[in-house]
Amino acid sequence: MKRNGYLALCFVMCFTIFSPMAVAKEKAGQQKGDNHFAPLASSAVMIEADTGTVLYEKNANEKMPPASITKVMTMLLIMEAVERGELKLTDKVRTSERAASMGGSQIFLQPGEEMTVEDMLKGIAIASGNDASVAMAEHLAGTEESFVARMNERAQQLGMKNTHFVNSNGLPAANHFSSAADIAIMSRELLKHDGITKFTGTYQDYLRKDTESPFWLVNTNKLVRFYEGVDGLKTGYTGEAKYCLTATAKRNNMRVIAVVMGEPDVKTRNNEVSTMFNYAFTHFQVMPMYKKGEAVRALVVDKGQKPQINAVTPHAVSLLMKKGESADTFQKEIVINEAVHAPIAKDQVIGHIFIRTKDGKEVNRIDLFPEDQVDKANMWEILKRTTKSVLISY
């Protein structure tokens, strides 16, 4: 993005902000002393969702089998397809013989059975249905193999360096692995889709409600019911992976994501995640800055069908600080291109919000995007606009 003609606005924010990289390094140095958070987990990580700041980690980059936590990526691709308009929650999905044959946790889909995308999501998010995951993968990409290729491509785009998927549901397979840090990344991305917690945060529901054989769903993540603020996200278990969980909880505008892998049993898994959440909510708080999609600044569009466009935030933006700590001064700087040339795509970065320390060290950067797509104006539109501008000047 060109920096010519940028507008900059700086002002001092009196809050202590933590750099994800700096905190990660600090925690790595204190790892031995911090193991009481998740002493029995093989690996673990906890982040604040808005900023991505690492609050705790233990062997966070170690490659391990993720079991059904794999379905976080499956759900992410589903939700992104819905957001792009390629898929509707009311669309019917037909179950293939292959999808129906999946073992392990399932919602007992029958070959040829049709179910809405919404109900398939319930089956994946609440009951961890392996059959529902494969049915959705085939519906979106034609084959599960093609869908898995999309999963790996998306993982690369998100910077998940220690992840490789072989299937869409997490059943044991050679060369199928992830890490606690990577799971936190894709969990954070999934949570940018506000509607997902409608499914992951539901403790119980039914499928096939209007039939003679309704199917009762009970969430495999019991923290949804027993820990205040938990509304997701995904459990996992195989003999190789042991007990895994990526959990998220929200209190007082602060959302935290905690991931544990290789736990010995469900009780330990839930207790250690609860301990991590207790630490986060006791010691930290956030100050909301912008809502998702909030307009930050307007900018001129050169030769566009619209003469100007708003730069908006792609997700909620917050400042993280320790409770009760006196503030060191940080600067927030909004840098927007003074003018951009049409056409403009919705995924085009047109500005940034920078958070820096007083000595200029960058601790957070939020990309800004156009509120709408802007097509290039035709010659007649440009001529009318130019003529109008000339007449006004006189």
Place of tokens 């994501």: 257
Residue among 71, 234, 242, 250 flagged as catalytic: 71
Nearest Cα residue to 220 out of 118, 126, 108: 126
Residue among 128, 133, 178, 187 flagged as catalytic: 128
Looking at residue 356, its amino acid is: R
Do 350 and 292 contact (CB within 8 A), yes or no?
Answer: no
Count CB-CB contacts under 10 A for residue 278: 12
Active-site residue 2, yes or no? no
Nearest Cα residue to 344 out of 386, 379, 383, 309: 309
Active-site residue 71, yes or no? yes
CA gap 182, 167 in Å, rounded? 17
Pick left, alpha or beta for residue 313 (phi over 0 → left; psi -120 to 50 → alpha; otherwise beta): beta
- What sign for the dihedral angle of Cα 217, 198, 176, 140? positive
Residue among 68, 168, 179, 318 flagged as catalytic: 68
CA gap 373, 342 in Å, rounded? 9
Residues labelled catalytic: 68, 71, 128
